[in-house]
Amino acid sequence: MYSPKGLTRTDYISLNINDTAAFARGTSQSLWRRWNQLSRFQRNLVYFSVITICLIILYFIPNDAKSSIIDKETNHDQLQNIEKHDKLIEELVVDNGDQGGGAGGGEVIEEPEFQPEVNQIDDDQIGPPQPKPNAMKFNGPQNERQRAVVGAFLHSWKGYKQYAWGHDNLKPISAGHHEWFGLGLTIIDGLDTAYLMGLNAEFAEGKKWVEESLTFGPSKDVNLFETTIRVLGGLLSAYHMSGEKIFFEKALDLGDRLMPAFSTRSGVPYSDVNIGTRTAHSPKWGPDSSTSEVTTIQLEFRDLGRISQQPKFEQAVARVSEHVHHLEKYDGLVPIFINANTGAFREFSTISFGARGDSYYEYLLKQWLQTGKTMDFLREDYITGIWGAEKHLVQYTAANKYLFLAELTGSQKDIKPKMDHLTCFLGGTLALGVHNGLPPEHMKFAEQLVRTCYQTYAIQPTFLAPEITYFNIQTPQSGDANQLDMFVKTNDAHNLLRPEFLESLFYMWYLTGNKTYQDWGWQIFQGFEKYTKVQHGYTSIGNVRNTQNTRPRDMMESFWLSETLKYLYLLFDDSRKLIDLEKWIFNSEGHILPVYDS
């Protein structure tokens, strides 16, 4: 019997004679008796009726009321984010209007009405941003050189469209295709370049393919880094430039599917992930991930996290950067392999600003810029890394004092006097840093490195650089006055249509206004036109050292469209205003992402 604490027996008796309570109890007891007397069928009938009535009531509550009950706050944040992004685009459109000249110069951009959508929220996924009111507007080529580059893009696109559409790469000689991940890499890498060049029809073709044919299942094993910089970066860039929602939706789907790569003990991702089955693993060739790969995914995942309002993307990659920040380094320099499970660098692995090391340094600077110069540890690590490079890697040729960055190998950190073409990105990155207030002496470093990289092209009869160059640093005992500064081994004499040096020339031109950089780029473009252009596109070649025997490889890499031709087009932008470097940042594949305040 119920006996409330603190009440006397007398109190209880007086309550017990309350008629209402007795009636209520009596009524409920009799209802219960009647319920027990019902047959099973009758009880089921009652259950069914009650459920049906509830469902009818729910159905007639207005949708708006439902969604505001679900998540008022989330929608508010999301809209704020969209407004901020729109403002950025708006400012850029105004900047481009200043260019004048050419078709459509200074046109007024029409703004479609902003239609916020609600009711797109489920457990894990906040609805994507809405169709954007502003798209960036470009007027197409403004001079002969830009027109020539657009011609190269169209020739490449045409061959790809005809013989390799939807596949990763074009084989421009045999008129076939090459598959790597099966993600239509050339389309996605080419989208924002087409947009930048004002090629609306080509952009629309690519968009249609993304809408109708780009799928990520059922089982696709991909490299996390390559897929992030090319596909995720390409989709995000296309979204920011065109405002077309489909690119955001695909990027969000892909980002989600790449996330299992981060499920390691250390948080350092595995190199490979199956985006269909959502499982991740180390590369087939060994237990470790490449240092540059795990540290060159941050710009893209951060951007995706910001525009989707899903912090998990940014958190995953920020954790990697913080982890690497805390690892012991060699005066800021990092070994090129890192283990995803232990989170430790592989002992005695090579130190290099070339393959597997390069973009670690690039993304330190660019992440700092992307986050409005608020993440100090990235800036510090970048400055320390450059200082380490000057101290340990910078070498000069004996004959003409050409500066280059050597590699350090083995436990003794022996100097290997070779430099990958990949290292030629660094001149542009250094210049970008100086432009943003980093040590002015970095500019001297940039100029010297750019001079050397130019030589790697200029000394070849094809005017195209090899993949790897070796340098003479010893003064010959014989006192040979004709000693060469650099030489190329047979196996390193290929040119894959790579962009790094043109990327640097673009930054040097944009940030200094020195036309020599444009002229150098034009000379190189002539080399590509003469020795890599074939019937259905442009091909990588096996030998830059002999114009009569270039050994075409029948392969057009997707970065030819996303980077090489884009940087050439921007290098020949006489206004130096097409892309505002205060507001946009280029990812490692040449895709364009917005700079945030923090």
Catalytic residues: 226, 358, 467, 500
Instruction: Say which DSSP state 345 is in.
Output: B
Q: How far is the CB of 589 from ligand DMJ (least distance, A)?
A: 5
Q: How far is the CB of 454 from ligand DMJ (least distance, A)?
A: 17
The reply on whether position 559 binds ligand DMJ by CB under 6 A is yes
Query: Among 269, 499, 537, 594, which residue interacts with ligand DMJ (rule: CB under 6 A)?
Result: 499
Which of 397, 406, 395 is closest to 455 using CA atoms? Answer: 397
Of residues 274-333, those binding ligand DMJ (CB under 6 A): none
Question: At 301, is the secondary structure helix, strand, or coil?
Answer: helix
Of residues 561-580, those binding ligand DMJ (CB under 6 A): 563
**Which of 191, 246 has the CB closer to ligand DMJ?**
191
**Which of 225, 463 has the CB closer to ligand DMJ?**
225
**Stretches 278-286, 411-419, 492-500, 542-550: which one binds ligand DMJ (CB under 6 A)?**
492-500
Q: Where do we find the tokens 């090129």?
A: 336
The reply on whether position 356 binds ligand DMJ by CB under 6 A is no
Structure tokens at 117: 């959508």
Structure tokens at 30: 């009799």
E strand map for 231-327: 272-274, 279-281, 289-290
- Are the C-beta atoms of 294 and 268 separated by less than 8 Å? yes
**Stretches 79-87, 406-414, 495-503, 538-546: which one binds ligand DMJ (CB under 6 A)?**
495-503
**Which of 205, 358 has the CB closer to ligand DMJ?**
358
- Are the C-beta atoms of 129 and 245 separated by less than 8 Å? yes
Q: How far is the CB of 194 from ligand DMJ (least distance, A)?
A: 18
Q: Measured in Å, how far apart are the chain's first and last C-alpha atoms? A: 64
Of residues 416-475, those binding ligand DMJ (CB under 6 A): 422
Residue 262 C-alpha from the chain's centroid: 16
**Stretches 58-66, 379-387, 497-505, 535-543: which one binds ligand DMJ (CB under 6 A)?**
497-505
**Which of 422, 459 has the CB closer to ligand DMJ?**
422
Of residues 139-198, those binding ligand DMJ (CB under 6 A): none
- Build a one-symbol-per-residue string for 17-56: x at contacts with ligand DMJ by CB under 6 A, - elsewhere: ----------------------------------------
b/e per residue, 196-223, with b = 16+ CB within 10 A?
Answer: bbbbeebbebbbebbeeebebeeebbbb
Per DSSP, the chain holds a count of helices (H) and strands (E) of 21, 18
Query: Among 302, 379, 392, 498, which residue interacts with ligand DMJ (rule: CB under 6 A)?
Result: 498
Rounded Cα–Cα distance for residues 177 and 159 (Å): 10
**Stretches 127-135, 267-275, 399-407, 496-504: which one binds ligand DMJ (CB under 6 A)?**
496-504
**Stretches 244-252, 338-346, 493-501, 546-554: which one binds ligand DMJ (CB under 6 A)?**
493-501
Structure tokens at 468: 């790897």
Residue 504 C-alpha from the chain's centroid: 19
Q: Which residue is nearest to ligand DMJ (CB)?
A: 588
Number of residues counted as binding ligand DMJ (CB under 6 A): 9
Which of 382, 228, 369, 378 is closest to 296 using CA atoms? Answer: 228
Rounded Cα–Cα distance for residues 400 and 403 (Å): 9
Question: At 473, is the secondary structure helix, strand, or coil?
Answer: coil
Rounded Cα–Cα distance for residues 439 and 379 (Å): 11
The reply on whether position 588 binds ligand DMJ by CB under 6 A is yes
- Are the C-beta atoms of 505 and 450 separated by less than 8 Å? yes
The reply on whether position 589 binds ligand DMJ by CB under 6 A is yes
- Are the C-beta atoms of 425 and 508 separated by less than 8 Å? no
Q: How far is the CB of 588 from ligand DMJ (least distance, A)?
A: 4
The reply on whether position 494 binds ligand DMJ by CB under 6 A is no
**Which of 236, 422 has the CB closer to ligand DMJ?**
422
Query: Among 186, 228, 359, 429, which residue interacts with ligand DMJ (rule: CB under 6 A)?
Result: 359
Residues near ligand DMJ (CB under 6 A): 359, 422, 498-500, 559, 563, 588-589
